[in-house]
Amino acid sequence: MLNLAIECSSATGSVALYRENVCLVERPLPDNVGSVQSLAATIEQLLSLHSARRADLISVTNGPGSFTGLRSGLATVKMLAFAWQVPVAPVDTLRAIAAHLEHAAAGSSRPAIVVPVLNAFRQQVFASAWLHAPSGPPHELAAAQVVDAAAWMRAPWASLHLRPPSTEAPLPPAGQAAVVVCGPGLRNYPPDAGSGVDIAAEELWAPTASDVARCGWSDYLGGGKTLVSAQELQPNYVRASAAEEKAAEEKAAEEKAAD
């Protein structure tokens, strides 16, 4: 079973082709990742390398991240998934970042709370939290959300709104789990010296198509409840764009003036 994976949330994305959980090939996207044509050409090259005409599953980051990259990537995936009539595994960008760290730390005997972060601009960050245990799959402790950058820098873990506790993902006792932050957002908003967190090595910050492939394959093996069709695939920007927020504010002002 071929799994085509696309990481399109940043200016430098990548594409990978997996056979189930084995990587066949992975390539970075050209600088003009915002171009649907350049992405489609890279996908065609990867399929041709393995004499394949289509994939059986498409895994793709659906946000948060670059509006341009996500729009181009998802438009391409919609087109391919519709033409091939195959399911899509949408992968949260922050989850892919956390998965990158989990893959690098495989074999660790200590649980870790991983807090991936992206620059959301306007003095804000996108962040979430994942529990990585020595055994078993990772569990989401805090969904992707917008956080004030200053508050996040003071306390990356404590600044997040957590999901209700569950028996599947109980929080480790205080002091038993390291809190590790990772992600491209650290370049702009590093944690304060007294925040009490560990910072992952910089080479582990950026999500890759391989991370997306592993997440998508995990979802497929998990019963496919989160898989969607081409028509159902939607971006998760987490926050509206500046232009959309401005338009909403102007509309609200006009409605208020008309009352």
For 61, the 3-state DSSP assignment is strand
| Predicted local distance difference test score (pLDDT) of residue 231 | 98
| Predicted local distance difference test score (pLDDT) of residue 220 | 97
Same CATH topology for 2-93+208-245 and 94-204?
Answer: yes
Which CATH fold topology does 94-204 show?
Nucleotidyltransferase; domain 5 (3.30.420)
| Predicted local distance difference test score (pLDDT) of residue 251 | 63
Tens of pLDDT, residues 141-194: 999 999 999 999 999 999 999 988 666 666 776 677 889 999 999 999 999 999
- The string of DSSP letters for 155-209 reads -TTTTSPPPPP-SSSPPPPTTSSEEEEESGGGGTSPPPTTS--EE--GGGSS--H
Which CATH fold topology does 2-93+208-245 show?
Nucleotidyltransferase; domain 5 (3.30.420)
- Selected residue with higher pLDDT from 165 and 29: 29
| Predicted local distance difference test score (pLDDT) of residue 11 | 75
Q: Where are the beta strands (DSSP E) in 13-123?
A: 14-19, 22-28, 57-61, 88-91, 112-121
- Selected residue with higher pLDDT from 54 and 39: 54
In percent, the amount of the chain with pLDDT more than 70 equals 85
How many whole angstroms separate alpha carbon 44 and alpha carbon 14?
13
Mean pLDDT of the chain: 89
* Of the candidates 12, 64, 4, the residue with the CA atom closest to the CA atom of residue 216: 4
Tens of pLDDT, residues 194-212: 999 999 999 999 999 999 9
| Predicted local distance difference test score (pLDDT) of residue 102 | 83
Exposure string for 237-248, b = 16+ CB within 10 A, e = fewer = bbbeeeeeeeee
For 12, the 3-state DSSP assignment is coil
Is the pTM here over 0.75, yes or no?
A: yes
| Predicted local distance difference test score (pLDDT) of residue 249 | 59
Q: How confident is the model at residue 110 (pLDDT cuts 50, 70, 90)?
A: confident
Per-domain residue ranges of the chain = 2-93+208-245, 94-204
| Predicted local distance difference test score (pLDDT) of residue 136 | 75
Q: How confident is the model at residue 224 (pLDDT cuts 50, 70, 90)?
A: confident
Angle at 7 between CA 66 and CA 90, to 5 degrees: 90
